[in-house]
Amino acid sequence: MGFARTCSVALVGVEGVVVEIQADLEPGVATFTLVGLPDKSLTESRDRVRAAVVNAGEDWPQKKLTVGLSPASVPKSGSGFDLGVACAVLGAAERIDPRSIAGLMMLGELGLDGRVRPVRGVLPAVLAAADAGHRQVVVSEEAVPEASLVPDVTVLGVRSLRQLIALLNDEPVPEEEPPDSLSPDEPGSERSPSALSLPGQGWAAPGATRRAERTLDMADVAGQHTARRALEVAAAGRHHIFFKGPPGAGKTMLAERLPGLLPPLTAQQSLEVTAVHSVAGVLPPGQPLVTRPPYCAPHHSATMASLVGGGSGLPRPGAVSMAHHGVLFLDEAAECSGRVLDAMRQPLESGQVVVARAAGMMRMPARFLLALAANPCPCGRYGMKGGGCECRPASIRRYRARLSGPLMDRVDLRVQVKPLSRSELAGLHGSSESTAAVAERVLAARERAAARYMGTPWSANSDIPGHELRTRWPAEPGALSRAEEDMEHGLLTARGMDRVLRVAWTVADLAGHDRPTAQDVDWALELRTGIRRGMPGSPAAVTASRGQP
């Protein structure tokens, strides 16, 4: 008779739950029973663990073996429990001292040859272990950099079960060859940078758009002054933005440059983003911490589960969570399912996704900057010079109706992107500002807003509740007169009025104003309604006219 216990972590969404692994050996027919609500991949661990133990040079106990995962009410998925199960079995068989593993947290999949392989979700698992008071964690050698991001936790990386047994028994540690694996650049590699790289910023899901290694520069965008100014406002205040225009006008080109304008992630934001990407299994080897805002651009045919999260079994993060603290770009938004688009209304308001399943409810972070792009009609030529649109009025109405009113009411900035003529394109070569110059102004505006909201739960203008903004941070007297007129004429809703004031504060921050002026509010109105107000220029021009850098 023998008994041993150790610990591991079950992932529920992007959060970890500490699980105690108990192994009990009793006289009787040699069987191996695994209890505690395991899924299929975890049930299969019986065969992996048995083969790994034997190939590590140990005898498999010929007794009645029961392994329990507690609490049994928590669904358990994946192969990350293999290492803990193997050590609990060896402890019950007295091949290792049960006391040496009682306080250890173990995370790793076992190969049939006994090698320890990395698993998804190491960072959130170690964070959960640290919160529960565990200070020693055993992971695969490849996962050590990610696990070491958590302070006050001792991380032990091993290549094989044989090495871990030797360490626990204070025996000489055998040398192990590095695992044979696909090169990161090999097409078949699951972690291939070709599947993961962003347009110059951070990392994203395998479905994200791939671009060149260099950072995409705003200087490459010719003309489009209004759209460029709107992009700057979106980055400075974290406002959602919608580009509307014919094919080839530059909508996608503009949206892809938005991540480069955002400030680097803070330490806390980096941990949050890294945890999501770790659960999704897209962290690149050697770069365990995401420091730049992520960018995710799913195809317009994406399902609801791939966009907001879900899937069979335990839900996995969707595109809205992969873009947490970054940019989610939906190109050809009017081609997306209306049901899928409307599912984003909750995360746009709350900054998180709640996925309900029979096993329970999972919350995943989803505070992102949304960029939408769409053509004016199915053929894309509606309203262009020379005409050429062949779409029927009914098809145009159906096409535009997919972007519902409640969704668009949550989008602060709406920009018409018009195609450039040949003469305009030739005359504008090399005249555009670079990403670095615009990002410097964005960072200064973010710092002004952060100083203003110090001591509150908010840091960006888009976060402020409307009633707080109206009472604690109002605009200059009379500055909202035109906005109030638009509200009377039905051009603005009450929520739209609050969003105009938020955008006006961002415009004021970019211009260096202490409070939004009438010009700031009018510019915010133009960006929201598309109705030109005869404003004198961009926030950058206003800043320059004041003699500020």
| pLDDT reading at 43 higher than 80 | yes
**End-to-end alpha-carbon separation of the chain, Å?**
77
Closest to 22 measured CA to CA, from 102, 130, 96? 102
Domain-ending residue, one of 168, 185, 206: 168
- Is the domain of 357 the same as that of 224? yes
Are residues 161 and 305 both part of a single domain? no
Residues 251 and 361 in one domain: yes
Q: How many distinct structural domains can be found in the chain?
A: 3
Q: How confident is the model at residue 359 (pLDDT cuts 50, 70, 90)?
A: low
Give the predicted TM-score (pTM) of the model. 0.85
Same domain membership, residue 298 and residue 241 = yes
pLDDT of 540? 42
Are 153 and 209 part of one and the same domain?
Answer: no
Nearest Cα to Cα of residue 371 among 319, 420, 314, 411: 411
Domain that holds residue 127: 2-168
> Which pLDDT belongs to residue 201?
38
Per-residue pLDDT at 204 exceeds 50: no
Query: Is the pLDDT reported for residue 115 higher than 50?
Result: yes
> Average pLDDT of 429-438?
80
Cβ atoms of residues 462 and 234 within 8 Å: no
- Close Cβ partners of 406 (under 8 Å, ≥ 6 residues apart): 342, 345
Provide the pLDDT for residue 284: 79
Phi, psi values for residue 33, rounded to 5°: -115, 130
Query: In this structure, are 320 and 345 located in the same domain?
Result: yes
What's the pLDDT score for residue 358?
67
- Tell me how far apart the alpha carbons of residues 116 and 190 are, in angstroms, rounded to a whole number: 18
Q: Could you give the CA distance from residue 372 to residue 370 in angstroms, rounded to a whole number?
A: 7
State the chain's mean pLDDT as an integer.
86
Buried b (16+ CB within 10 A) or exposed e, 229-265: bbbbbbbbbbbbbbbbbbeebbbbbbbbbbbbbbbeb
pLDDT at 175 over 90: no
Q: Which of 432, 454, 484 is the endpoint of a domain? A: 432
Residues 135 and 39 both lie in one domain: yes
Query: How many of the other CB atoms lie within 10 Å of CB of 546?
Result: 10
**Residues 423 and 441 reside in one and the same domain:** no
Pair (127, 204) in one structural domain: no
Between 88-97, 206-215, 391-400, 486-495, the lowest mean confidence (pLDDT) is in 206-215
> Which one-letter DSSP state was computed for residue 270?
H
Tell me the per-residue pLDDT of 287-301, one tens digit each, with 9 for 90 and over.
889 999 999 999 999
Same domain for 359 and 456?
no
Selection from 174, 173, 104 nearest residue 139 by Cα: 104
Tell me which residue of 47, 174, 34, 163 sits closest to 96, measured CA to CA: 163
Q: How far is CA 42 from the centre of its chain?
A: 27
Would you place residue 548 in the very low, low, confident or very high pLDDT band (cuts 50, 70, 90)? very low
Spatial contact of 11 and 314, defined as CB atoms under 8 Å apart: yes
Q: What is the pLDDT of residue 125?
A: 96
Same domain, 353 and 476: no
The enclosing domain of 53 has a CATH number of 3.30.230.10
Domain annotation covers residue 267: no
Q: 423 with 483, same domain? A: no
Residue with tokens 């879900």: 310
